[in-house]
């Protein structure tokens, strides 16, 4: 195991954790984000985390690529929420009228410490967010820890503590592409999700507030399914967002089994995801022609897939989705593990 660091542009730093099997996880203190995930597959080394070569690529456009999202991931309708009977507002997007990924963690530069032992390397990003920032109550101390071990597992762990009741629902916005190429779609990847229900969306991408059964819909991924079978299905929910951009409620009766499995087209690389969180938002980068130039290629429509573990967006309004309230006497903890399995078919 080794950890190195290098400049990543505009005063930011890229931390590189390499395990004994030559898998390398690279994370940046700007946005506490994953930048690169290099995995040796046969003779090639694939970078399966979509992103940019320097921080300037992130600063030039939308910044969610690989970033830590918080305080609240997903959309908050009208930017409005109520805690203990008091109404609060977080800034909204003027076009949509809603807040998306409220709290701007993706633009913060975090403090960093690293740790290394024989079997695991980790980078701990921390920040303190003042009471009232972006309209959220509570001084909030946040820790985001990225780790890579010799079992080819990379994990993201969140810890937080507030001094007033607030909302907290972080996630990680990694964009996987198991070809390692932004110009190749993920439509031939296979996806399996242990979820009986998903959350349908309104035309403005905010959740309706219901949990719909996946049975007999393109959202049924119990049996591994090639993504294009869902992405090209005739279904209003798929047509509405040009792909997947939906929360799935994870079925957790067997905690030893991963909740999500993503497999490369020829089966030479697999990502198995396990999480303490109750939901995962799956977004298939439905950017049409608007994808950026990335690593010298045009990022294609459906050029990646996110597995954003969290409480389902809308939880501040819909009790059945779970709770994202965090209280002063209740430290926050969540962990998601992505296990990389190379060469098994």
Q: Which of 187, 245, 248 is nearest to 220 (CA)?
A: 248
Q: Is 308 a catalytic residue?
A: yes
Please select the residue that binds ligand GAL; options are 134, 143, 187, 308, rule is CB under 6 A: 308
Residues 48-77 that bind ligand GAL (CB under 6 A): 62, 64
Q: Is 173 a catalytic residue?
A: yes
- CA 88 to CA 164: how far, in whole Å? 13
- CA 51 to CA 106: how far, in whole Å? 13
Give the binding-site size for ligand GAL (rule: CB under 6 A). Answer: 8
Q: Which of 270/302 has CB closer to ligand GAL?
A: 302
Contact call for residue 245 and ligand GAL (CB under 6 A): yes
Are the CB atoms for 93 and 206 separated by under 8 Å? no
Residues 183-242 that bind ligand GAL (CB under 6 A): 205
Q: Which of 62/229 has CB closer to ligand GAL?
A: 62
**Active-site residue, selected from the candidate residues 98, 173, 179, 302:** 173
Residues 119-158 that bind ligand GAL (CB under 6 A): none
- CA 39 to CA 48: how far, in whole Å? 7
Contact call for residue 176 and ligand GAL (CB under 6 A): no
Contact call for residue 104 and ligand GAL (CB under 6 A): no
DSSP type of residue 224: -
* Cα dihedral: 291, 295, 296, 302 (round 10): -30
Q: Which of 32, 31, 65 is nearest to 51 (CA)?
A: 65
SS3 183: coil
Residues 260-299 that bind ligand GAL (CB under 6 A): 281, 283
Residues with a known catalytic role: 173, 308
Write out the residues near ligand GAL by the rule CB under 6 A.
62, 64, 100, 205, 245, 281, 283, 308
């Amino acid at each position: 195991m080794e950890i190195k660091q290098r400049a990543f542009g505009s005063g930011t730093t890229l931390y590189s954790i390499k395990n004994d099997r030559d898998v390398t996880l690279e994370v940046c203190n700007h946005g506490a984000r994953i930048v690169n995930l290099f995995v040796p597959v046969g003779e090639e080394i694939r970078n399966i985390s979509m992103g940019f070569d320097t921080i300037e690529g992130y600063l030039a456009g939308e910044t969610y690529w690989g970033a830590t999202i918080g305080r609240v991931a997903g959309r908050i309708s009208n930017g409005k929420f109520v805690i203990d009977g008091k109404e609060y507002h977080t800034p909204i997007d003027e076009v949509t009228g809603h807040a998306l990924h409220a709290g701007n963690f993706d633009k913060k530069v975090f403090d960093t410490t690293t740790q290394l032992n024989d079997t695991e390397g980790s980078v701990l990003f921390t920040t303190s967010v003042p009471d009232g920032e972006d309209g959220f109550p509570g001084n909030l101390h946040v820790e985001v820890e990225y780790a890579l071990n010799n079992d080819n597992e990379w994990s993201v762990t969140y810890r937080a503590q507030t001094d007033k009741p607030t909302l907290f629902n972080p996630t990680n916005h990694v964009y996987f592409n198991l070809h390692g190429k932004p110009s190749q779609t993920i439509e031939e990847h296979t996806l399996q999700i242990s979820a009986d229900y998903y959350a349908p969306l309104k035309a403005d991408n905010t959740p309706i507030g219901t949990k719909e059964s996946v049975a007999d819909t393109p959202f049924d991924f119990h049996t591994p399914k090639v993504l294009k079978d869902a992405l090209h299905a005739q279904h209003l929910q798929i047509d509405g967002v040009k792909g997947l951009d939906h929360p799935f409620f994870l079925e957790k009766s067997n905690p030893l089994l991963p909740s999500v499995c993503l497999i490369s087209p020829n089966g030479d690389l697999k990502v198995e995801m396990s999480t303490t969180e109750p939901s995962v938002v799956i977004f298939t980068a439905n950017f049409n022609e608007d994808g950026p130039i990335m690593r010298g290629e045009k990022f294609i429509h459906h050029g990646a897939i996110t597995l954003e573990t969290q409480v389902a967006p809308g939880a501040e309004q819909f009790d059945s989705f779970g709770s994202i309230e965090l209280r002063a006497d209740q430290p926050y903890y969540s962990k998601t593990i992505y296990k990389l399995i190379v060469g098994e078919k």
